[in-house]
Amino acid sequence: MDRLNPIYTERTECQDCYKCLRECMVKAIRVVDGHAEVVPELCILCGHCVSVCPVGAKKVREDVAKVKHVLSTKRAVYVSLAPSFVSEFSEEEQVGLFEGLDRLGFAGVSETALGAEAVSSILAKRLSDAIHASTNDSAKKASNQQTLYLSSACPSAVEYIKKYHPSLSSYLIELSSPLMAHARLLKQLYGMDIGVVFIGPCIAKKREADIRPELIDAALTFLEVRNWLAAEGLSLELGGRRMNFSSPFSPPFVPRKSKDGSLYPVDGGMVRTIFHRSEASPDLCTSLSGIREISKALGGLEMSQFEAPLFVEILACPGGCVNGPACTKKNGTLMKRNQILSYHKKTTIRDEDPKGIDLFYRWGIEPLPKGKVTDREIRDALSKVGKYSVEDELNCGGCGYDTCRQFAEAFVMKKAEPTMCLSYMRKLAQKKADALLKAMPTGVVVVDEGLSIVECNRNFARLFGKEVEELYETKPGLEKASLKKLVPFADLFETVLETGVDILEKDLRYGEKILKGSIFTVERGRYVGGIFQDITLPFIQKDRIVEQAEKIIRKQLSTVQKIAYLLGENAAESEVMLNAIIQSFGQEGR
């Protein structure tokens, strides 16, 4: 477990379901001793594993204690509040939120959207220049004019491109994220010694704070803030009840409210802010949200086919930041989108993009080294899970990987274990069960609700004569054979199926044999099992005599122990009484 990484696994809670591995687009999960661990160097912090973990074993690093320290040591600390707060907090809760943050000691709350607007202004200018160059300087365009621009607003999307599509890294726009831009703006306005704490739905912002501590002191999720306020006895709802809602609540943002930046949380929001500031037409801008969609859209790109500059807004979360992994409100995307657009329409201020802020930033994320796994290693790994041919490769995805070969590669790289292969474990369990059945000296049978045999061993067939044993030779296990046609006491199996009450150690006569059998439920109403032993066999009779003798000896020994206990108890009482009499007579003699 690595608590320094923003996402980690609580091993004691992991239930080995591999759902996080199945859902992770970049397979940044390593299975060790049956537990799924996050691999920090592979993780892009999209937080999807946190959202899908059915038992909550994937945890997000808690940074409230760090923020408390910042509040106690910095001259003033400002909140950079993500614009998705609109879809996270109701209007009543927003009142309580601002009141609570004030009481926690923050100097003010500002919109991260202000940084987004600064980023959009620079992007709009760059895109306008690119469009102008593409239409007026054909020779330059043909030689080295850039035609693809990928946004760098989403840190998870940036990590995805840098780590997993390094050939496209040069198309990422080298600009600060909206949070970095906002932190620069706040420090320009209120002093370089202030603290900046981000609050939003994004786990990746925690790493952004880790790598840029001179700008961002810490990042909290919406859930962390809710829990912190509750721990301090500050209710979001109570704050709202003290207000008069005859008119809409207007958050007291510093230094002012944003305008277009408030659209950033929804996919296409960033594109809209650029439209307002550039000559770009709709066909020169597009939006991709969700790692899966980004991967599909960017596959097989041929830059020579682009005749004009294309700007692509890339967001790791499907639908945009309103569906960030640390959102606590699970409303549908359309509802959240509508809330963002409604909030944006209520803002009537004029855009005032900040001036004089250097937003250039080169994301220092190195591409992942490509581990070379040979075909021989893959074949060897597949053979360890019982896959010796292409036909054996089911590609069922139960292990979390799309194909058996991907699983084998992960196995070679020590990211996977043989027990993750469901077909292998099923076959292994079947082999163990078969071996156990064959080795058992008693006759064993399992039947279904129709009294058709599911499985039995040779000793069971041998109990019922030569014909049944010969049938077993022809069809091992007697699968689907009718129990009613083989044994005269099949009705007992029906009774157990209907009642669920087991019949244990019952003597049954079959010809000259006496069978001692137990019939028991395997799965109520569906499967019943039976174990039988011929107690008329000489060696069985000998065992029975020994067993009965041992029972008699144990019973007699128990009786003797009880008598001895009673005798000892009586002797002790007699000794006490005699001592009392002697003592009494002795005193009279004096």
Q: Say how far apart CA 393 and CA 42 lie, in whole Å.
A: 26
Clarify whether residues 184 and 316 are in a common domain: yes
Clarify whether residues 413 and 285 are in a common domain: no
- Check pLDDT > 80 for residue 444: yes
Q: Say how far apart CA 363 and CA 162 lie, in whole Å.
A: 9
Is residue 522 in some structural domain?
yes
Clarify whether residues 470 and 493 are in a common domain: yes
Question: Where does the pLDDT of residue 146 fall: very low under 50, low under 70, confident under 90, or very high at 90 and above?
Answer: confident
Look at residues 319, 312, 1 and name the one whose alpha carbon lies nearest to residue 161: 312
CATH of the domain at 487: 3.30.450.20
Clarify whether residues 470 and 393 are in a common domain: no
Is residue 216 in some structural domain?
yes
Question: Where does the pLDDT of residue 138 fall: very low under 50, low under 70, confident under 90, or very high at 90 and above?
Answer: low
- Check pLDDT > 60 for residue 543: no
Half-sphere exposure (Cβ direction) of 283: Cα atoms closer than 13 Å: 3
Clarify whether residues 452 and 406 are in a common domain: no
Question: What are phi and psi for residue 569, nearest 5 degrees?
Answer: -65, -45
Is residue 34 in some structural domain?
no
CATH of the domain at 389: 1.10.15
Q: What is the CA radius of gyration of the chain?
A: 37
Task: Judge if the upstream peptide bond of residue 255 is cis by omega within 30 degrees of 0.
Answer: yes
Contact 460, 532 (CB under 8 A): yes
Clarify whether residues 424 and 446 are in a common domain: no
Number of folded domains that form the chain: 3
DSSP string, 98-155: HHHHHHHT-SEEEETHHHHHHHHHHHHHHHHHHHHHHHH-HHHHHHH---EEE----H
Contact 60, 51 (CB under 8 A): no
Q: Say how far apart CA 129 and CA 141 lie, in whole Å.
A: 12
Neighbours of 434 (CB within 10 A): 14
Look at residues 38, 175, 43, 61 and name the one whose alpha carbon lies nearest to residue 119: 175
Clarify whether residues 99 and 205 are in a common domain: yes
DSSP-derived secondary structure letter, 273: H
- Check pLDDT > 50 for residue 581: no
- At residue 242, the pLDDT reads 57
Clarify whether residues 400 and 476 are in a common domain: no
Contact 112, 179 (CB under 8 A): yes
**Residue 472 burial by CB count (10 A; 0-12/13-18/19+): exposed, middle or buried?**
buried
Is residue 54 in some structural domain?
no
Choose the final residue of a domain: 490, 508, 536: 536
Is residue 57 in some structural domain?
no
Q: What is the pLDDT of residues 457-510, one digit of tens each?
A: 999 999 999 999 999 988 888 989 999 999 999 999 999 999 999 999 899 999
Contact 453, 446 (CB under 8 A): yes
Q: Say how far apart CA 408 and CA 377 lie, in whole Å.
A: 8
Clarify whether residues 398 and 461 are in a common domain: no
Clarify whether residues 114 and 167 are in a common domain: yes
| pTM for this entry | 0.75
Is residue 557 in some structural domain?
no
User: In the sheet where 285-289 sits, what is the strand order?
Assistant: 148-150, 310-315, 285-289
Q: What is the mean pLDDT of the chain?
A: 86
Residue 447 bridge partners (DSSP): 453, 528
Question: What are phi and psi for residue 517, nearest 5 degrees?
Answer: -135, 155
Contact 233, 321 (CB under 8 A): no
Question: Max CA-CA distance within the chain?
Answer: 140
Is residue 376 in some structural domain?
yes
Clarify whether residues 305 and 405 are in a common domain: no
Is residue 288 in some structural domain?
yes
- At residue 561, the pLDDT reads 60
Q: What is the pLDDT of residues 169-197, one digit of tens each?
A: 999 999 999 999 999 999 999 999 999 99
47 phi-psi bin (left φ>0, alpha ψ -120 to 50, beta other): left
**What is the domain range of residue 418?**
371-428
How much of the chain exceeds pLDDT 90, in percent?
Answer: 58
Q: Say how far apart CA 527 and CA 449 lie, in whole Å.
A: 6
Question: Where does the pLDDT of residue 367 fall: very low under 50, low under 70, confident under 90, or very high at 90 and above?
Answer: confident
